[in-house]
């Protein structure tokens, strides 16, 4: 028996290795996609060698990208998801009965089709959700053409800012998001890790640009076992609503959603940042 291991390199001298059974690999017009299986993390896939979703820990990321925004504005009706071709983010958004429209823009249709085949836990939402409409175009182009004030919430569920995700970390993109949001609009974006220098650098750059665009720009943290360092961040930007002072736990609890990571205590705690992270913002 030959042991096969997938490794994601964190720095030149640090990596995470997972013993794998390969399920599928392909190179699309946009990126390389690999699906694997592992006893501890279940089925997982990588884009250009970076872990995106594992069956076992995806609930953490997908609950945390979605629920804090709904706890701050329980009236969210129109949602735009950029990226997130695995479907996990859409699945969490679709749990809110108040949501009327979910537009999802994924640049690479193959991510969606392969996730439908190998990761139904996240991707079954695409077949089952009548409020959701998929658009296989570049998010950067889509947002340019979105009418003013057309969304209450934009969730940017992107890869790292190298490759096809790059344009989603630019000032121009954030400006269009601001324009496309309603007066109470919220933008949540995948914000990388504060720990290893490469991700921290990208996180800082993204945050500076968001801060220059939105009156309220915060960062919140959570623990993600299969991402570099395990310490991961989302950016929370808004025109009027503050994720800490406008947080009313009872309002969110009225939705009566069963979650495994997110809860009101986690919400409050997530916005309390370690000193070394505060100093980067």
What residues from 141 to 160 belong to the interface with ligand AG3 (CB under 6 A)?
157, 159-160
Q: Exposure of 183 by Cβ count < 10 A (0-12 exposed, 13-18 middle, 19+ buried)?
A: exposed
Least Å from the CB of residue 254 to ligand AG3? 27
CB 185 within 8 A of CB 238: yes
For residues 222 to 261, the per-residue mask of contacts with ligand AG3, x marking binding by CB under 6 A and - elsewhere, is -----xx---------------------------------
Specify the residue for token string 């495994």: 260
Q: Locate tokens 């296989």: which residue? A: 136
Site string for ligand AG3, 184-203 (x = CB under 6 A): ------x-------------
Distance of CA 145 to the CA centre of its chain: 22
Q: How far is the CB of 37 from ligand AG3 (least distance, A)?
A: 18
Output the six-digit token pair for 264. 């009101």
- Which is nearer to ligand AG3, 86 or 108 (by Cβ)? 86
Alpha helices (runs of H) in 43-181, residue ranges in sequence order: 58-72, 88-93, 109-118, 120-123, 125-128, 139-145, 171-180
Does residue 52 interact with ligand AG3 by CB under 6 A?
Answer: yes
Number of residues binding to ligand AG3, judged by CB under 6 A: 15
**How far is Cα 58 from Cα 43, in angstroms, rounded to an integer?**
11
Q: So which residues are the catalytic ones? A: 157
In the complex with ligand AG3, the residue whose CB is nearer, 129 or 160, is 160
129 lies in the binding site for ligand AG3 (CB under 6 A): no
At closest approach, how far in Å is the CB of 199 from ligand AG3? 7
Q: How far is the CB of 52 from ligand AG3 (least distance, A)?
A: 4
Nearest-approach distance from CB 148 to ligand AG3, in angstroms: 28
**What is the β-pairing status of strands 216-223 and 42-47?**
unpaired
Place of tokens 């096809």: 164
Q: Up-side HSE of residue 74: CA atoms within 13 Å toward CB?
A: 13
Of 61 and 252, the one with the shorter C-beta distance to ligand AG3 is: 61
Q: Among residues 143, 152, 155, which one has the least CA distance to residue 240?
A: 152
Whichever of 7 and 133 has its CB closer to ligand AG3, that residue is: 7
277 in Cβ contact with 221 (< 8 Å): yes
Pairing of strands 32-38, 42-47: antiparallel
Select the residue whose beta carbon is closest to ligand AG3 and give its number.
Answer: 50
x/- map, 10-49, ligand AG3, by CB under 6 A:
----------------------------------------
Task: Give residues 78-107 in contact with ligand AG3 (rule: CB under 6 A).
Answer: 84, 86, 88-89
- Calculate Rg over the CA atoms of the chain: 18
Write out the residues near ligand AG3 by the rule CB under 6 A.
50-53, 61, 84, 86, 88-89, 157, 159-160, 190, 227-228
């Amino acid at each position: 028996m030959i042991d096969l291991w997938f490794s994601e390199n964190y720095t030149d001298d640090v990596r995470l290795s997972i013993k794998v059974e390969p399920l599928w690999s392909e190179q699309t017009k946009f990126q390389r996609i690999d699906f694997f299986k592992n006893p501890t993390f279940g089925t997982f896939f990588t884009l250009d060698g970076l872990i995106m979703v594992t069956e076992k820990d995806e609930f953490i990321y997908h609950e945390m990208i979605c629920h804090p925004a709904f706890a701050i504005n329980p009236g969210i009706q129109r949602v735009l998801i950029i990226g997130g071709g695995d479907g996990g983010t859409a699945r969490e958004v679709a749990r809110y009965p108040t949501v009327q429209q979910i537009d999802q823009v994924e640049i690479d249709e193959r991510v969606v089709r392969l996730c439908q085949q190998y990761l139904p836990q996240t991707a079954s939402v695409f077949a089952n959700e009548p409020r959701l409409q998929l658009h296989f175009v570049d998010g950067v182009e889509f947002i340019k053409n979105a009418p003013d004030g057309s969304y209450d919430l934009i969730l940017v569920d992107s890869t790292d800012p190298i490759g096809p995700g790059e344009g989603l970390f630019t000032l121009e993109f954030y400006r269009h998001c601001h324009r496309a949001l309603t007066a109470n609009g919220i933008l949540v974006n995948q914000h990388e890790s504060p720990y290893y220098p490469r991700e921290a650098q990208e996180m800082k750059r993204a945050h500076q640009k968001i801060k220059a665009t939105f009156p309220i720009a915060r960062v919140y943290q959570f623990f993600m076992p299969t991402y570099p360092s395990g310490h991961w961040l989302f950016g929370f930007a808004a025109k009027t609503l503050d994720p800490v002072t406008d947080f009313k736990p009872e309002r969110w609890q009225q939705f009566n959603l069963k979650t495994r990571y997110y809860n009101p205590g986690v919400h409050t705690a997530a916005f309390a940042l370690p000193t070394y992270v505060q100093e980067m913002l």
